[in-house]
Amino acid sequence: MPHAISVTSRRRRRTALVAGVAALSLGLGLSGCAKYDAQSPHDARENAYKAAAKAAEAGGTDGKAAALPAGAVDCRKAKCIALTFDAGPSNNTPALLKVLDEKKVRVTFFLLGHNHVDKYPELVKQMGQNGNVLGNHTWTHRRLTDLKPAEIRTELNHLDDEVEKLTGKRPTLMRPPQGRTDEKVSKVCKELGIAQVLWSDTASDYATTDSALIKKRILKDASRDGIILLHDLYKGTVPAVPGIIDALRAQGYTFVTVPELLAPATPEPGKVYRP
């Protein structure tokens, strides 16, 4: 009997160790082993309201800064979630835009430059319509934490310059490739007026064409104030989107863009936002 207890104990410790290593790997995979300060959408909103209330109490006029933009959803009241797509446009984007239009959903696109923005300029213009928000996913998808500051600036400015030429609006949101950022990247982003946006929910759709599996993975980790990461360039993703939207709406979720999720806070350059 003592031997059986010892074996069970060892198994439990081994299971706990494996779970701990898996959790650590997940965290390191997102951050790239780097240090950075992140703020949740909930905290960004609450801080904006508190700052406005404090200013109003002091007799200032900044209390109006807490007002939501016209037509924006109040995510203190609504069960909000943000749907985002990286590395577009692609040949699957027209089908995605059709789904979003039919479902009346606004999303945030983090655009990739080489072989995407430069290949589908007309799609970029369409993606920025109907309330969608265009963000930056760099020009060539290089890992920013491996680059020198000047190279980071080039990756970000090249994309922003091209999108501004096409749409008249310069992106102020950025998603670092592989979610890897650090203090160096944040400093450059602050200089360029760009805020960083990570995520809380992804389906690893780059590794499967199974639309049902993609939907299942997204629904499993969906949460209030969450940010969903998908890629429309992969074959199984767009067919999964209608079911994802319908299922989350049935659970009471309201779809918003990333700026809406943070409102009335304004995305702060250099800051990292992560649920």
Which tens digits make up the pLDDT trace of 87-117?
999 999 999 999 999 999 999 999 999 999 9
Give CA–CA dist 92/181, Å, rounded. Answer: 28
Residues 25 and 46 in one domain: no
Exposed/middle/buried for residue 7 (C-beta within 10 Å: 0-12, 13-18, 19+): exposed
Residues 174 and 62 in one domain: yes
Instruction: Please check whether residue 238 is in contact with residue 232, taking contact to mean a CB–CB distance below 8 angstroms.
Output: yes
Residues 23 and 73 in one domain: no
Residues 113 and 10 in one domain: no
Q: Is 205 a catalytic residue?
A: no
Question: Which residues form the domain of 217?
Answer: 38-273
Q: Which of 86, 160, 205, 225 is catalytic?
A: 86
Query: Cβ–Cβ contacts within 10 Å for residue 73, how many?
Result: 19
Instruction: Please check whether residue 164 is in contact with residue 140, taking contact to mean a CB–CB distance below 8 angstroms.
Output: no
Residues 22 and 62 in one domain: no
Query: Cβ–Cβ contacts within 10 Å for residue 220, how many?
Result: 9
Residues 17 and 108 in one domain: no
Q: Which of 160, 201, 231, 232 is catalytic?
A: 231
Instruction: Please check whether residue 236 is in contact with residue 21, taking contact to mean a CB–CB distance below 8 angstroms.
Output: no
Residues 142 and 167 in one domain: yes
Domain count for the chain: 2
- Which CATH number characterizes residue 88's domain? 3.20.20.370
Residues 15 and 93 in one domain: no
Residues of the chain with pLDDT under 70: 1-34, 60-65
Residues 59 and 5 in one domain: no
Q: Is 158 a catalytic residue?
A: no
Residues 154 and 54 in one domain: yes
Residues 23 and 123 in one domain: no
Q: What is the pLDDT of residue 19?
A: 36
Model confidence over 15-59: pLDDT tens digits? Answer: 333 333 333 333 444 544 567 889 999 999 999 999 988 887 787
Omega prior to 264 cis, within 30 of 0: yes
In 3D space, the residue among 148, 145, 152, 156 whose CA is nearest the CA of residue 178 turns out to be 145
Give CA–CA dist 134/155, Å, rounded. Answer: 16
Backbone angles phi, psi at 266, to 5 degrees: -100, 130
Residues 87 and 109 in one domain: yes
